[in-house]
Amino acid sequence: MTWQQWLTQAAARLRVSLSPSAKRDAEILLAQVIGATRTRLLAFGETPLTDAQRATLDMLLARRERGEPVAYLIGEREFWSLRLRVSPDILIPRPDTECLVQRALALLPPDRAEVLDLGTGSGAIALALASERPTWRITGVDRSPNSVTIARDNAARLGLNNVEFHESDWFKALHAQRYSLIVSNPPYIEADDPHLVQGDVRFEPRKALVAGGGGLKDLAAICQGAGRHLLPGGWLLLEHSWRQGAAVRTMLVDAGFSQTATLRDYGDNERVSQGQRLPEEK
């Protein structure tokens, strides 16, 4: 069987299993197994597969048909044009989170800043900021030791030296450190949300998705604790669901933040809310 024949067959099978990106999924799996770019796949489609390649591809295809995310199948996901290692116990970075990165870059001057990324996971947000602002000092924390290990590995593979990662359950291990900006994409999905049993989300870790209090528990904890770790005039940026904007703005105001606002994502849904810590009175 040739590369092109396998692609055609695999895409057809994935369409039957209702993959929203059947052709692209098949191309990613093939490129991963044979070690070729998408351009090479298309240019040399008559190249035959080896028996070992065919066996590996068929195994991966069967897993994808069952709904397992492509990112977990190949162990990588692209975010902000960075190739990041991921694992099944880490949330897969999503395009809408790039809206948070864009806002963070716009809020602070490009020369120097101290930035904290809470619940960093694969390190996606921290590494995106580090790649754009080499003079910023960025810290990412996560309560999962495996997440910290993977985030450190991603930083090393990308050659980013202005970011470091540590274990911490939100602010607990940070002591008296203060930052110009705190960012976070915390768990914010309600436990009974029907999307949790649909599509790729079925395979992602619940601990990285679900929060108590109607999905607001972790967002509230961050709002309440962030003020003690922000420099005067510092900013807090939070990703949340499209239905939580008003609630998060209220939390920010109740926690003493000013300049509260909510920004929209690529689908024009409320997605990222901000608040500024008031400067200390002289």
Q: What is the pLDDT of residues 199-210, one digit of tens each?
A: 788 899 999 999
Query: Rounded to 10 degrees, what is the CA torsion of 91, 85, 198, 96?
Result: 70
Question: Average pLDDT in the 188-193 region?
Answer: 90
In this model, does residue 281 exceed pLDDT 80?
no
Whose CA is closest to 72, among 172, 185, 150? 150
Lowest mean pLDDT among 2-11, 197-206, 234-243, 268-277: 197-206
Q: What is the pLDDT of residue 175?
A: 85
The stretch 155-178 carries a mean pLDDT of 95
Distance from C-alpha of 71 to C-alpha of 212, rounded to nearest angstrom: 27
Q: Per-residue pLDDT averaged across 169-191, rounded?
A: 94
The boundaries of every CATH 3.40.50.150 domain in the chain are 87-277
Amino acid in position 215: G
Q: Which CATH superfamily is domain 87-277 in?
A: Vaccinia Virus protein VP39 (3.40.50.150)
What does the pLDDT average to over 235-251?
A: 96
Strand order through the sheet with 179-184 = 163-167, 137-142, 114-118, 179-184, 230-239, 270-277, 257-264
* pLDDT tens-digit series, residues 40-61: 888 888 999 999 999 999 999 9
The per-residue pLDDT of the chain, averaged, comes to 93
Lowest mean pLDDT among 88-97, 191-200, 273-282: 273-282
Res 198: pLDDT = 81
The CATH T-level fold of domain 3-67 is Helicase, Ruva Protein; domain 3 (1.10.8)
pLDDT higher at 194 or 144: 144
- Can you give the pLDDT at residue 280? 63
- Taking the C-alpha atoms of residue 125 and residue 136, their distance in angstroms, rounded to an integer, is 13
At residue 197 the predicted structure's pLDDT band, cuts being 50, 70 and 90, is confident
CATH 1.10.8.10, the chain: domain bounds: 3-67
Q: Output the pLDDT for position 282.
A: 45
- pLDDT of 21 > 50? The answer is yes
**pLDDT tens digits, one per residue of 75-127:** 999 999 999 999 999 999 999 999 999 999 999 988 889 999 999 999 999 99
- Helix, strand, coil abundance in the chain, percent, nearest 5: 45, 20, 35
- Cβ atoms of 223 and 248 within 8 Å: the answer is yes
Please compute the mean of the pLDDT values over residues 167-178 and round it to a whole number: 93
The mean per-residue pLDDT over the stretch 134-146 comes to: 96
Backbone angles phi, psi at 113, to 5 degrees: -165, 155
Evaluate whether 76 touches 44 at the Cβ level (below 8 Å).
Answer: no
CB atoms under 10 Å from CB of 189, counted, come to 18
**What's the rounded Cα separation, in Å, for the pair 66 and 203?**
10
Checking if the pLDDT of 191 tops 60, the result is yes
Decide if pLDDT at 279 tops 80: no
